[in-house]
Amino acid sequence: MQKAVTAILLLLVLFFPAGATELTADEVLDRVEGEMAFTGDGTAVIELITVNPKGVQRKHELKVWRKEDPDETSKQLLEYLSPPDVKGTKFLSITPPEGESSMWLYLPALGRERRIAGHTTKDTFMGTDFTYEEIGGSRDFTKEYKAKRLPDETFDGYPCYVLELSPDADGAEYGLVKMWVWQDEFLPLQIQFFNKGLEQSKVLINRNIKEAAGRLTPHAITMENTLKKTKTIINLLAVEEVELPDDLFSLRQLRR
């Protein structure tokens, strides 16, 4: 099952050896595991940089905890470590294999959490160019879009399948999505998002792909809003595979 972006924040996929001409668009999409470079169980430290239309940057550091249960329920907890004005802000997302994700945002200034639900999951996350849905990893392209294969292309020197995704559900956020998927690793390297008017609205690019915790992982993710002229950059600083307790991903822990 394809799980989204997420993310925070960074794309990983399983390797399935097969010839480029043997796979349908649906088969390629099914083999794309997600839009978060950090997957599996463990922790990560990331640098998140927002860039406004004037080019002014604001840097943040976050820690991410992630766990996947045997039933394929994905749990993710993010905490801002810096700068001081957002330190202690936390975001919890729990995504079952079927059904809706549950998301909460904890703001230390308020001393309580806020449920993120319904249409608000498509709102921007903490002033970035990612949505709550993309950061929380709850988007499933296979449920909302129908896929079509376009001629293969090369992106950043990698041979890629090219997919064109058209809305196939009322809740689909975009009018069109184009995806370049690395053929060897089934890793999306570029995703172009078009709004309902078919204007390109955002572009996601994954670069600096290298091994982390035994897996090929993008260490630099850029999401650019081509309409607003803003950009969000996520750099993966450290990854550690470690078992995590279930109670870490709870509202009680969110408030601590």
Render pLDDT for 29-38 as a digit per residue (tens, 0 to 9): 988 865 444 5
Chain Cα centroid distance, residue 127? 16
Residues in contact with 161: Cβ distance below 8 Å, sequence separation at least 6, in sequence order: 20, 23, 28, 149, 152, 180, 181, 183
CATH code for the structural domain at 20-242: 2.50.20.10
CA angle 230, 144, 71 (to 5 degrees): 100
User: Which pLDDT does position 171 carry in this prediction?
Assistant: 77
3-state SS, 158-169, equals EEEEEEEEEECC
The pTM (predicted TM-score) of the whole model is 0.86
Render pLDDT for 199-233 as a digit per residue (tens, 0 to 9): 999 999 999 998 877 778 899 999 999 999 999 99
**In the chain, what are the domain boundaries?**
20-242
Q: Give the residue-averaged pLDDT of 105-111.
A: 93
Radius of gyration of the chain (CA): 17
Q: Helices in the chain by DSSP H: which ranges?
A: 25-31, 132-136, 141-144, 251-254
